[in-house]
A and B are shown apart, each in its own frame.
Chain A
């Protein structure tokens, strides 16, 4: 009896540091942010010595009634809808190739995860140089290949800006999906494939009847993680199209929910309103993420 309690105590002691850190760096800020979201805190308005007033749920109502907020949600969802299918398709393709035996496979695997290793900001800047209308590499390549007769301004229109943000995000993140799916592929027992071959199954049948269903759990994880990451996209947008690197300008056409939140909190110092926006973003991403995961788990089950 005493031994069990001692083990329990050891276990509690072992998780205590992590628990304290979580309490300090996750739960305390979360509660504090929620309390702030119920006030009109803005140090620029109230001054350094002033105190914010409690406004209840007014910030939430104001945000939910704001066309700007819903505009940013719609832009974010457009990016998500472009990124997720592309990223998972490319990730799956790359995983299938890298699951095969060939010479130099280790080197190729390392090279393929390079975009993931680069900081997203660097990726964003890299793509802004590639897409530059005057000296960009994409123009140079397409011009030399004869695909275009004059240089194009790839980021000129709002839909194009969203599209290229999605492309840069896919480039940055597909290795993550690939690594997850590759792990999933390698966990499928080889015997099943052998049995299918003996039964005369064609490659397409093998893929749709064995590989894909057995990859669904890995797919679900990749989809859920990537949904959250893409819904909270910031760095790539910031460096590619937000125009936030200098001056006061934030590009309205790629103002995603996180960029909006940044603008409200850090540019306008509207901390109360920004805290409400942060909570609404959390609720939205949790809600949609839950639906995703639930649906896919039910299917894979």
Chain B
């Protein structure tokens, strides 16, 4: 008898271990996982709880820095497993996650979801790759620039610089007048070079994805030389930014008058609880030719998820007007829904909305969906950092970036 009980207990335990989903099914509640960068975590917990109660879907949110997120998704997907049911697509995700085919095409889900009102959502074309929708735009974002108007005025300047040369002269003056020892808050990273090159009028790539930034006397070469000079000779950027990924916490800590920002950054930079720059930060149009690039984020389904319908319900909720408003209120990200944007604009909730609209007219898309874009950006950052330390010239850094692009393109197009 004892042996019988023992055997039964072992069978039950093994059964539970082997089929843990059985319990969840018995409770009729589905559980999904949502892998996201920290700023994609739904900020309004009550709203999320309401969704969970109404839908019967419980959502486990897994937050990871974007690079770690790409690693998780790549490794799991390469072995044909779902890293999570729903995945947030941000920064270099188009190259690392979408282009290799790790996402589920959403067209059939969109077709049967009139309640999504997809026509209201901007920039869906960016996430349409290979003719299929890979994600629903969660927020729209441009790389922007902001500045501290009060401190700029303390240096004797009433308006922000209109050219990069003027910006450099202003920054040198701010430094010499002791307004700020390090008046520019840019990272020693690829982004700083991209934004300076694009806004100086460089197209960077031709339509066949060949680099043009390395042409002799290109605007991108001049931009690289100026960026390296900011660090190495002019000393206009704090050395702390040689090892940091973004310049935002340095700027929020009170260092810098000019800052590489994003669409929605004013909500953070002018929040006195977390930023020493508050309340004087304003947007500006990028100097010279004004061009920038877009970094919209989206949310999509893992190709290997076994809870795609539940995941889709969550996605619909995530891009709903209510949640987009909550996200804007919580982290300042500009909603992808035109209706919500317009409403917030009318309410005066989006600071410097007019500059944002003006900047959005100058967007030159970088080839972020090329499979080799992610690995390439890493090598650009390496070249920038080596040049700031005098280990290579700015021209050599540009040439190294072009050479690496060609190598990767050849490898990936074999």
Contact = CB atoms under 8 A, between A and B. Distances in A.
Interface of A: 43-45, 47-48, 132-135, 153, 155-158, 161, 241, 243-253, 263, 266-269, 271
B60 interface: no
Given A134-B240, A153-B239, A245-B65, A44 B371 contact: yes
Nearest to B373: A248
A244 B67 contact: yes
Nearest to B100: A44
Contacts of B371: 44-45
B222 to A, nearest CB: 23
B215 interface: no
A247 B67 contact: yes
B330 interface: no
Contacts of A251: 243, 385
Contacts of B15: none
B411 interface: yes
Contacts of A244: 67
Given A45-B412, A157-B389, 10 more contacts: A43-B77, A43-B78, A44-B99, A48-B78, A133-B240, A134-B255, A248-B91, A249-B245, A253-B385, A267-B71
B412 A155 contact: no
Given A246-B246, A253-B385, A153 B414 contact: no
B92 interface: yes
A297 to B, nearest CB: 41
Contacts of B386: 252
Contacts of A263: 378
B346 to A, nearest CB: 35
A292 B234 CA distance: 47
Residue with the highest number of chain B CB atoms closer than 10 Å, among A44, A133, A250, A253: A44
A120 to B, nearest CB: 17
> Which 3 residue pairs spanning A and B have beta carbons closest together?
A156-B239, A153-B239, A247-B245
A245 B242 CA distance: 15
B67 A248 contact: yes
Contacts of B102: 48
A20 B18 CA distance: 22
Interface in B220-251: 238-240, 242-246, 250
A247 B412 contact: no
B381 interface: yes
Contacts of A253: 385, 389
Contact of A246 (B66, B385, B414): B66
B17 to A, nearest CB: 19
B211 interface: no
Interface in B196-222: none
A17 to B, nearest CB: 19
Nearest to A263: B378
Centre residue among A132, A250, A252 by max chain B CB count within 10 A: A252
A239 B70 CA distance: 18
B101 A153 contact: no
A248 B381 CA distance: 9
Contact of A249 (B68, B101, B189): B189
Interface of B: 65-68, 70-71, 74-75, 77-78, 80, 91-92, 99-102, 189, 238-240, 242-246, 250, 253, 255, 371, 374-375, 377-378, 381-382, 385-386, 389, 391, 411-412, 414
B238 A248 contact: no
Contacts of B239: 133, 153, 155-156
A269 B102 CA distance: 13
B253 A247 contact: no
A249 to B, nearest CB: 5
A44 B243 contact: no
A267 B374 contact: yes
B92 A248 contact: yes
A133 B386 CA distance: 20
A49 to B, nearest CB: 9
Contacts of B385: 251-253
A246 B74 contact: no
B282 to A, nearest CB: 24
B243 A248 contact: no
Contacts of B378: 248-250, 263, 267
A155 B378 CA distance: 20
A134 B245 contact: no
21 contacts: A43-B78, A44-B74, A44-B100, A44-B371, A45-B412, A48-B77, A48-B80, A132-B240, A156-B240, A156-B242, A243-B243, A245-B65, A245-B68, A248-B67, A249-B67, A250-B378, A251-B385, A253-B389, A267-B71, A269-B75, A271-B78
Nearest to A152: B239
A90 B80 CA distance: 49
A13 to B, nearest CB: 21
Nearest to B80: A48
A134 B253 contact: yes
A134 B381 CA distance: 23
Given A45-B411, A251-B385, A153 B75 contact: no
Contact of B246 (A45, A133, A241, A247): A247
B75 A266 contact: yes
B246 to A, nearest CB: 7
A243 B100 contact: no
A249 B77 CA distance: 22
Contacts of B255: 134
B372 to A, nearest CB: 8
A153 B238 contact: yes
B140 to A, nearest CB: 20
A246 B65 contact: yes
Contacts of A161: 243
A153 to B, nearest CB: 4
B94 to A, nearest CB: 13
Contacts of A250: 378, 382
B38 to A, nearest CB: 9
A43 B91 contact: no
A45 B414 contact: yes
Contacts of B374: 248, 267
A21 B181 CA distance: 59
Contact of B100 (A43, A241, A246, A252): A43
A135 B249 CA distance: 12
Contacts of B68: 245
